[in-house]
């Protein structure tokens, strides 16, 4: 039996295929730019290998939706992009709906192992691909702090006794190119006198600030839980701390395939318990006025 997983990278989409005992049987990457127009071809290419299950790239995550449950609302929650704008992730998800052996993967915020108080007024505590990376390393370590160093965004995920118990990610942590934790007063002035767009929170960061904050948080968590720091991702060499493994594949893609293997009863099925999840990425926001956002999403 073959199981497949997909990592939706900023520059490339990586697809990994493993068998029931975890052996990597095929791996390939395609430019992300080509996925937007060629999503159907990529999905068909994956299905040509007849995988038993396919773990879809799931953005902000939704807990294990199958093809018939991936509607417009679910796609929006996973992408958080205007439904009128076709992006690579949206195109891939919609192209995948024609197959019954596909499922979505939760993000950190949807995991039951993360205490609810840590989720309040958060949305991105680590996207689904970060969960896949954590799953990959969980097959080797029981306790660890995983730092995923992306070129644009990074995340810090804490795994304790085999379960993800916390995550910090997305625009909360400054990325090598993104500003990170936006001062609320700045957000207020921008909202009143200008406007906040994706570009506002995605650009004009400072690499030195990012590395300083990430190193500080990861080092503290490693000390608190007496566990190693593992650094992965395309920009991992920028960080001076932690253990770094060099593979010929993206950990998130293989981790996604491992999750498919686990749900399909393969070698990694014993680790499936760490993925128990519910709710959606927006379920824990309690800010004043958020009701209007929820009402709008419900109309999709």
| Nearest residue to 34 (alpha-carbon basis) of 52, 15, 59, 58 | 15
DSSP SS3 for 165: strand
**Domain housing 126:** 2-298
For the chain, the straight-line distance linking the first and the last C-alpha, in angstroms and rounded, comes to: 37
Joined tokens for residue 150 = 């992306």
Q: What's the pLDDT score for residue 85?
A: 80
Question: What's the rounded mean pLDDT across residues 95-120?
Answer: 97
Beta carbons of 1 and 52 less than 8 angstroms apart: yes
pLDDT category at 15 given cuts 50, 70, 90 is: very high
Beta carbons of 64 and 256 less than 8 angstroms apart: no
CA dist list (Å): 133 to 99, 157, 220, 290: 25, 10, 21, 31
pLDDT in tens, 155-212: 999 999 999 999 998 888 877 777 877 788 988 888 888 888 878 888 888 888 889 9
Residue 31, CA atoms < 13 Å, CB-side half-sphere = 3
Higher pLDDT, 192 or 100: 100
Higher pLDDT, 13 or 196: 13
The DSSP 8-state label assigned to residue 12 in this structure reads E
Q: Give backbone dihedrals phi and psi of 49, rounded to 5 degrees, phi first.
A: -85, 5
233: left (phi over 0), alpha (psi -120 to 50) or beta: left
pLDDT in tens, 132-163: 999 999 999 999 999 999 877 899 999 999 99
Q: What's the pLDDT score for residue 150?
A: 83
Beta carbons of 124 and 157 less than 8 angstroms apart: no
Joined tokens for residue 289 = 């006025």
Joined tokens for residue 258 = 């491992």
Domain count for the chain: 1
pLDDT higher than threshold 90 for residue 241:
yes
* pTM for the full predicted model: 0.94
Joined tokens for residue 140 = 């080797």
DSSP SS3 for 134: helix
């Amino acid at each position: 039996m073959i199981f497949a997983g997909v990592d939706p990278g900023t520059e490339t989409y990586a697809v990994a295929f493993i068998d029931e005992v975890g052996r990597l049987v095929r791996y390939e990457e395609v430019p992300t730019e080509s996925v937007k127009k060629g999503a159907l071809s990529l999905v068909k290419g994956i299905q040509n290998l007849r995988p038993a299950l396919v773990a879809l790239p799931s953005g902000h995550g939704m807990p294990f939706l199958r093809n018939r449950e991936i509607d417009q609302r679910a796609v929006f929650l996973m992408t958080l992009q205007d439904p009128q704008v076709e992006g690579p992730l949206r195109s891939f998800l919609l192209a995948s709906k024609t197959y019954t052996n596909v499922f979505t993967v939760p993000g950190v915020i949807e995991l039951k192992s993360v205490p609810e108080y840590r989720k309040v007024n958060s949305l991105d505590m680590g996207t689904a691909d970060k969960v896949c990376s954590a799953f990959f390393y969980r097959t080797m370590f029981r306790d660890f702090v995983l730092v995923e160093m992306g070129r644009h965004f990074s995340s810090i995920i804490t795994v304790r006794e085999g379960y993800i118990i916390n995550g910090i990610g997305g625009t909360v942590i400054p990325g090598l190119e993104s500003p990170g934790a936006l001062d609320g007063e700045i957000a207020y002035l921008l909202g009143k006198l200008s406007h906040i767009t994706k570009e506002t929170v995605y650009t004009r960061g400072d690499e030195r600030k990012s590395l300083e904050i990430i190193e500080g948080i990861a080092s503290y968590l490693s000390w608190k839980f007496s566990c190693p720091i593992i650094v992965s991702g395309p920009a991992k060499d920028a960080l001076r701390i932690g253990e770094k493994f060099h593979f010929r594949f993206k950990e998130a893609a293989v981790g996604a395939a491992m999750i498919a293997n686990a749900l399909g009863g393969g070698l990694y099925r014993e680790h499936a318990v760490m993925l128990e999840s519910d709710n959606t990425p927006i379920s824990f926001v309690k800010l004043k006025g958020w009701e209007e956002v929820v009402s709008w999403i419900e109309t999709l």
